[in-house]
């Protein structure tokens, strides 16, 4: 007899209970795309502290966590607000030494996660030649020699986060997660982590997942909890549902790093996610969806 499906669905307001203070947490997404922002906001509301955040190309997610006093350590290759400038709260935390940090090369961080996901203690690669990072972090990087060619390579130690939090397009209750656009580093993070939380735009029936099995980039056996969070990557994008919210990002960048930014964080901390969507997205959700459609039309026209 086939066992009944496992229901892993958890309400967003309980997400903070799944992450303990002091744990290492890998946050998916990259640049201004696919960051699990609803989860970030919920960790702030839950009062989480001393989190060791791991990000490949962090963005507003890391900056907001830094401003809210959630970070206890930051492992990263880059944190940026892209066209809107530097991430001022992360920069301040690093310059004042209030948050210790570990700097990886982007590829090195991905290889460390991949090694853990493959069950390997390390994986080698060609690089990062000329960088001072290997000498700075001998606990992460080492020199190794290919047993077949004698070529000198760089070994990157496997990296295992306690938790990975990623944002997908859709999931079923068993945790089978699908992306239509890019999944970035999310799958490697999930396969490396001890526990995995997937927030998603919608939770669907198992039959919907089965109709498009090629889109299931993360099978449910990797996943511990599924959280439905519409617009859960906002203000970053989640293609094909919505573009990044440049208006909200400009507002964020204009306030971040100022003395008044505490009010921005307090508002996030005091409102529910439903309140957040009502405040920021009412009327704008249609626009953000239309921007994706317009981009696809322009791309198809080969202008």
Q: Is 150 left (phi over 0), alpha (psi -120 to 50) or beta?
A: left
Query: What pLDDT does 258 receive?
Result: 87
| Residues 186 and 35 sit within 8 Å (Cβ to Cβ) | no
Predicted TM-score (pTM) of the model is 0.93
CA–CA separation, 240 and 73 (whole Å): 33
Domain ranges of the chain: 12-105+160-285
Residue with tokens 């086939």: 2
> What is the CATH number that goes with domain 12-105+160-285?
3.40.1080.10
Low-confidence residues of the chain: pLDDT under 50? 298-299, 303
Cα separation, 27 vs 37, in Å, equals 9
Rounded to the nearest angstrom, the gap between the alpha carbon of residue 144 and the centroid of all alpha carbons in its chain is 31
Q: Return the pLDDT at 302.
A: 52
Question: Which residues, including other chains, have CB under 8 Å from residue 299's CB and lie 6 or more apart?
Answer: none
Cα(157)–Cα(169) distance, integer angstroms = 31
Identify each DSSP E strand in 100-215 by its residue range. Answer: 101-103, 122-125, 141-145, 152-157, 163-171, 177-178, 195-203
Largest CA distance in the chain: 62
Cis? peptide before 272, omega within 30° of 0: no
Q: How far is it, in rounded angstroms, from Cα 303 to Cα 301?
A: 5
278: buried, middle or exposed (CB in 10 Å: 19+, 13-18, 0-12)? exposed
CA distance 125 to 153: 6
Quick one: DSSP state of residue 213? G
Q: What does the alpha-carbon distance between residue 71 and residue 24 come to, in Å, rounded to a whole number?
A: 10
- Cβ neighbours for 94, distance < 8 A, ≥ 6 positions apart: 74, 101
Reference 60, options 248, 282, 263; nearest CA is 248
pLDDT in tens, 20-37: 999 999 999 998 999 999
Q: What's the half-sphere exposure (Cβ side, CA atoms, 13 Å) at 21? A: 8
Place of tokens 């999944």: 183
**Is the bond preceding residue 128 a cis peptide, omega within 30 degrees?**
yes
């Amino acid at each position: 007899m086939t066992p009944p499906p496992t229901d892993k669905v958890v309400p967003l307001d309980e997400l903070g209970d799944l992450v303990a203070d002091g744990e290492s947490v890998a946050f998916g997404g990259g640049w201004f795309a696919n960051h699990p922002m609803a989860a970030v906001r919920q960790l702030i509301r839950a009062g989480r502290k001393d989190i060791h955040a791991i990000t490949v190309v962090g963005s507003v997610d890391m900056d907001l966590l830094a401003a809210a006093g959630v970070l206890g350590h930051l492992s990263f290759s880059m944190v940026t607000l892209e066209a809107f400038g530097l991430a001022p709260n992360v920069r301040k935390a690093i310059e004042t030494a209030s948050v210790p940090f570990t700097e990886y090369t982007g590829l090195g961080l991905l290889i460390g996660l991949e090694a853990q996901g493959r069950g390997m203690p390390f994986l080698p690669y060609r690089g990062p030649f000329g960088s001072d990072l290997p000498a700075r972090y001998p606990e992460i990087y080492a020199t190794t020699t290919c047993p077949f060619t004698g070529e000198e390579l760089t070994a990157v130690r496997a990296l295992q986060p306690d938790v990975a939090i990623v944002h997908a397009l859709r999931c079923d209750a068993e945790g089978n997660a699908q992306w239509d656009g890019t999944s970035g580093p999310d799958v490697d993070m999930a396969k490396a982590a001890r526990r995995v939380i997937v927030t998603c735009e919608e939770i669907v029936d198992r039959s919907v997942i089965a109709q498009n099995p090629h889109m299931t980039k993360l099978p449910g056996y990797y996943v511990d909890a599924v959280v439905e969070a519409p617009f859960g990557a906002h203000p970053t994008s989640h293609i094909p549902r919505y573009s990044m919210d440049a208006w909200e990002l400009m507002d964020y960048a204009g306030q971040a790093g100022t003395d008044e930014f505490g009010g921005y964080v307090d508002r996030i901390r005091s409102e529910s996610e439903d309140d957040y969507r009502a405040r920021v997205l009412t009327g704008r959700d249609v626009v953000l969806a239309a921007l994706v459609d317009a981009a696809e039309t322009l791309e198809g026209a080969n202008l």
